[in-house]
Amino acid sequence: MCRRLGVKLCQSDKCPLGRRNYPPGVHGPKGRQRQTEYGMQLAEKQKAKVSYNVLEKQFRLIFERAAKTSGDVGQNLVVLLERRLDNVIYRLGFAGSRAQARQLVNHGHFLVNGQKINIPSYAVKAGDIIGLHSHSTDNKYFKQQLGKLKVAAIPGWLYFDSSKKEAKVLSAPQSSGVEQLFDVQAITEYYSRR
């Protein structure tokens, strides 16, 4: 997908885009063809889906929820994507990628307000406290990750207390403070075509 879309979407050091900076295919490096407006909008939607590790139906439902919320649809979309529990775990630095964060949440390693949550799409809200499950604190992986956590890399809407080994959601994420690899306006236009 990184090669197809021309942007480094994966968190891997061995990203295929670094070795072959052209689209995949049997005909080799011919370069990128000019896209139609619809093709560009579709590519932006695909970038968002792949970078947040969300399937098509989930992404469409998130967009519909963002459209029903008052305010700018594009900003609401980014906020809803950022509030997902798997994304919060990734932003805190417990996982190297969103796919890994999704797996950690699925395996029940995290508590939200003292309750085990194993649903990656769980939407956190301001005031929620996210901590490690008691059986996970002795895990070698989490001991290693807690030693490597960089507080400077954690976004401003999250606070991590290293002594308690838990994080708190201070406020709703702001779409302006999120690094985006995609154009939310193009995604909004893509879904408004229907």
DSSP string for residues in 156-189: TTEEEETTTTEEEE-SPPPGGGS--SS-HHHHHH
Of the CATH numbers 2.40.37.10, 3.30.1330.10, 1.10.1050.10, 1.10.10.2120, which one belongs to the domain with range 2-81+179-192? 1.10.1050.10
The pTM assigned to this predicted structure is: 0.84
| 58 contacts 49 by C-beta, under 8 angstroms | no
Is residue 9 pLDDT above 90, yes or no?
no
Task: Please determine, looking at this structure, whether the domain spanning 85-172 carries the CATH number 3.40.50.720.
Answer: no
pLDDT tens by residue, 120-157 = 999 999 999 999 988 888 888 888 888 877 766 788 88
Number of H helices, E strands in the chain: 9, 5
Are the C-beta atoms of 130 and 88 separated by less than 8 Å? yes
